Amino acid sequence: MKDLHSHILMEIDDGARSLDESIEILKKAQKEGITEIVLTPHYIKDTLYNANNRKKKTLMNKLLTRIQDEKINIKLYLGNEVFLDKDIIALIRDKKIMTINNTRYILVELPMTNELINALDIMFELVRHGYIPILAHPERYTYIQKDIKKIDRFLEVGVLLQGNYLSLYGKYGRNAAKTLKKLLQAHKIHILASDIHRSNHDYHLERIDKNLLSIVKDKKYVNELLVLNFDKIVNGIKIE
């Protein structure tokens, strides 16, 4: 597997608290067979989670040096998980936030319980400026759980969907699991990721291929969810 969504970069959000914890998570990832990871620290404007690109790159360089020392064979890319904001285009231009590996793809999130009224307009503006928004864990938003058809509006303007595969195992509750299964069965999810935060969290990848195949009945789609679409995203290739 290749992991598009993680909070492994240390001392920057609610993820890894130290360089040592980052390394502990990466060792666990390597043991589970993960070969490539995008570091996507939260960016929420006007909060403590607002490190700019320079700080992120400095922390990533420290992590890369330690990875070499520890002989961890995982390729890392840098990005953000951005809380959707009307000023998101300016934040990109001002180098406050990063697209995934400097491509057109950008990982964004919404409020968990209170629906953002102008979310669709902001997504449309991103697309209009040449970016491709990837909505993180749509199955976790309570208003999507209540009315799954709301996700179609985002798909219609060109938004891609990234599900947290751990939702299938009940990590975020029954409603999230049920919603993700429905989205997968409708082939509306484009990629799955871990959204891992801390060293006491497990990846649970030992059964992921079989579990997904039992849900979607399509080996090619499973490969797209876990590997192929990751490759397209980090290389800036359009997902049809």
Q: What is the pLDDT of residues 22-61, one digit of tens each?
A: 999 999 999 999 999 999 999 999 999 999 999 999 999 9
pLDDT of residue 77 exceeding 90, the answer is: yes
**pTM for the predicted model, two decimal places:** 0.97
CATH superfamily, domain 2-234, is Metal-dependent hydrolases (3.20.20.140)
Asked if 41 and 58 touch (Cβ cutoff 8 Å), the reply is no
pLDDT of the residue at 80: 98
DSSP, residue by residue, 112-174: SSS--TTHHHHHHHHHHTT-EEEEE-GGG-HHHHH-GGGHHHHHHTT-EEEEEGGGGGTTT-H
pLDDT of the residue at 146: 98
pLDDT of the residue at 95: 95
pLDDT of the residue at 20: 98
Which residue bears the tokens 């049809």? Answer: 240
Average pLDDT, stretch 117-142? 98
Residues forming a β-bridge with 105? 132
pLDDT in tens, 167-217: 999 999 999 999 999 999 999 999 999 999 999 999 999 889 999 999 999
pLDDT of residue 240 exceeding 90, the answer is: no
pLDDT of the residue at 212: 97
What separation, in Å, do the N-terminal and C-terminal C-alpha atoms of the chain show? 21
Local structure of 87: helix, strand or coil: coil
pLDDT of the residue at 194: 97
Provide the 8-state DSSP code for 196.
B
Which residue bears the tokens 């938003």? Answer: 141
Tokens matching residue 20: 């040592």
Residues forming a β-bridge with 2? 36
Average pLDDT, stretch 8-27? 98
Average pLDDT, stretch 105-119? 97
Buried b (16+ CB within 10 A) or exposed e, 81-102: bbbbbeebeebbeeebbbbbee
pLDDT of the residue at 151: 98
Tokens matching residue 67: 């990875």
Number of other CB atoms surrounding residue 132 within 10 Å: 19
Reported confidence tier of residue 8, pLDDT bands at 50, 70, 90: very high
Q: Tell me the C-alpha distance between 229 and 127, whole Å.
A: 19
Q: Tell me the C-alpha distance between 221 and 223, whole Å.
A: 5
Q: Tell me the C-alpha distance between 183 and 154, whole Å.
A: 13
Dihedral sign, Cα of residue 132, residue 164, residue 206, residue 100? positive
Q: Where are the domains of the chain?
A: 2-234
pLDDT of the residue at 102: 97
